[in-house]
Structure formats: C-alpha cells, structure tokens
C-alpha cells in the first residue's frame, strides 16, 4: 500500500504532463517514435508518454525579420549597402519543420542573393528610384522559392540604400545645384510678372489720364458753347421784348451796338459799319438785319 500511493502520484503527474493545450495562432508538430505523427492546432490535446513528443512549437502569426545590410553592385559598377525587411508567415508547420534546416538563415541568404541579382541589372539612378519594382520582384521570387518550406512571403521592403560616401556627396551637390536653379527660375519668373504688371498698370493709367483729359475738354467746350448760346438767347429775348414794348429807335440802336460789340470779340466775326455814323436810322436798320440773320441762323 505504501508503494502504491507513490506510483499513483507518479502516474497522475505523468497524465497531467501529457495533457497539452495549444494556444490560439500556434501549432505543435508531434512525432511518434521519431516519425511525424500530426500537427496540433489550438485546443486540448493528449500525447502518449515516452512515445510521443512535440518536435516543434510554431507561431502562425506574421513574422517580421530585419536583415542586416548586404553589399551589392549595380550595373554601372557602384557598390552600395542595402538592407531589407521581410514579412512572412508559416502556412504549413510540417514543411517548415522538415523542409529546410534553419529556415530563417535560409530566407536571409536567399534574400541576399536575390537582391544582388536584381540590383545587378539596374544602374545607380534606377536603383534609387525603383524601390517598388525591386520590392515586387523580390517578393515574387522569394515567395516561389520558400513555398516548399511551408512559408508564405507577404511583403519585402528595401529599408535603406546607402551609396558610397563620394557618390552621396556628388548627389548632394547635384540636388543643391538643382534647388538653386529652381530658385533662380522662380525669381526670374516673379520679376517678369512684376514688370508686366507694372507696365500694364502704367498703360492703364495713361489710358485713364487721356480719357479724363478728353472728357474734361469735351465738358469745357460744351460748357462754353452753352454759355455763348444762352448769352445770345438772352440778347435775342431782350431785343424781342423791346420791340414788343415799342421801344424808341435810339434804344434799339444802342442795344444793337452793344450786341455788335460783344459779337466783335470773336476773331472770326466781321462787322460792316456805314460810313455815315450820324445816320442812326441806317445803323438801326443794319443792326436789325444782323439780328434777324442771327435768329434765322439759330
């Protein structure tokens, strides 16, 4: 009885140890007597003591692996350092366990050789501007090569491209020169636009001044013409009123002389005066005829 109790305890402990719980997003590869038995997914499992063993515990999550920089040579014989980041996922735990010895090292070496082959077909400028093309080619090649290992390559990213120091200095000088060139072009375009705007402004100002002078001259001439017209109308009305009032001939003659004097102010006006100034009747007749002609003209 004393021996049975320890044996029962040992058996119980063995049974407890043989009960395995596989977590979510993990897989266990189980062997029986050294041969592959099955792959356990998440859940409760039981293995036979001393016969079954767990050969490998794997995660089914996406794994990110950052590989160290690799020296590569471009088509135009420029040596540079490029490091890559590989995103992969285990799709078949059995193939991953038995397909290749040390899969991570295999992926790293495969990535390095694939990168050298791709960069060897590109020149320096193409390498610096064709990251998307490089990433797509590497992902396609690596995914096909790692398929027998139970690995799915989801994405490959070129992280850093480090040209030699002298190439970097030359590129920096080139970029600096390009920025200065663009700055000068922008400055010249700004000055050109400014000159055009100033010239257009001066042109518009000159046109407006000319139009203003023209309007001023027209208004001045119109005002003078209206003033002369109103003076003549006022004088005509005055003489008409005198006639209607049966004014004396001497008064009419005097008014006619005043009108003749005002009309004589113009350079183009000619006045014919009789030689006999004492003949008031003749002067009156002459002035009356002139006034009649002026009224008829109006």
pLDDT in tens, the chain (298 residues): 667 777 778 877 878 888 888 999 999 999 998 899 999 999 999 888 888 899 999 999 999 999 988 899 888 888 889 999 999 999 999 999 998 888 999 999 999 999 999 998 988 888 888 889 999 999 999 999 999 999 999 999 998 888 878 777 777 777 788 888 888 888 888 888 888 988 888 888 888 888 888 888 888 888 888 888 888 777 777 767 666 665 555 555 555 556 555 555 544 445 454 444 445 445 555 555 555 555 555 5
- Can you name the residues that pair with 64 across neighbouring β-strands? 87
pLDDT at 215: 87
pLDDT at 261: 59
C-alpha dihedral sign at 37, 41, 47, 50: positive
Of 262, 210, 193, nearest to 232 by C-alpha is 262
Q: Give yes or no for a contact between 46 and 17, defined as CB atoms under 8 angstroms apart.
A: no
pLDDT at 90: 94
Count of CB atoms situated within 10 Å of the CB of 84: 24
Measured CA distances, 220 to 7, 207, 268 (Å): 135, 20, 20
pLDDT at 130: 86
User: Hey, what long-range contacts does 177-182 have (CB within 8 A, 24 or more apart)?
Assistant: none
pLDDT at 58: 93
Dist. CA 161–CA 21, nearest whole Å = 45
């Amino acid at each position: 009885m004393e021996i049975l109790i320890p044996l029962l305890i040992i058996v119980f402990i063995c049974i407890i140890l043989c009960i395995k719980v596989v977590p979510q997003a993990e897989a266990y590869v189980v062997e029986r007597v050294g041969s592959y038995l099955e792959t356990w997914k998440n859940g409760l499992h039981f293995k036979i003591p001393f016969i079954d063993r767990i050969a490998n515990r794997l995660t089914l999550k996406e794994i990110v692996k950052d590989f160290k920089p690799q020296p590569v040579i471009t088509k135009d014989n420029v040596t540079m350092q490029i490091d890559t980041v590989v995103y992969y996922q285990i799709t078949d735990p059995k193939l991953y366990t038995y397909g290749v010895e040390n899969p991570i090292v295999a992926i790293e070496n495969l990535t390095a050789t694939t990168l050298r082959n791709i960069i060897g077909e590109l020149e320096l400028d193409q390498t610096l501007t064709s990251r998307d093309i490089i990433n797509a080619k590497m992902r396609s090649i690596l995914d096909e090569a790692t398929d027998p290992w139970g690995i799915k390559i989801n994405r490959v990213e070129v992280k850093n491209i480090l040209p030699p120091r002298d190439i970097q200095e030359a590129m920096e000088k080139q970029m600096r020169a390009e920025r200065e060139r663009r700055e000068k072009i922008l400055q010249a375009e700004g000055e050109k636009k400014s000159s055009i705007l100033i010239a257009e402004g001066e042109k518009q100002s000159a046109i407006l001044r000319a139009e203003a002078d023209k309007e001023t001259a027209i208004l001045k001439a119109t005002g003078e013409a209206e003033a002369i017209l109103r003076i003549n109308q006022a004088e005509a009305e005055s003489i008409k009123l005198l006639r209607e009032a049966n004014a004396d001939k001497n008064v009419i003659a005097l008014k006619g002389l005043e009108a003749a004097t005002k009309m004589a102010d113009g350079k183009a006006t000619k006045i014919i005066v009789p030689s006999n100034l004492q003949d008031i009747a003749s002067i009156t007749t002459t002035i009356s005829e002139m006034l009649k002609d002026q009224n008829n003209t109006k």
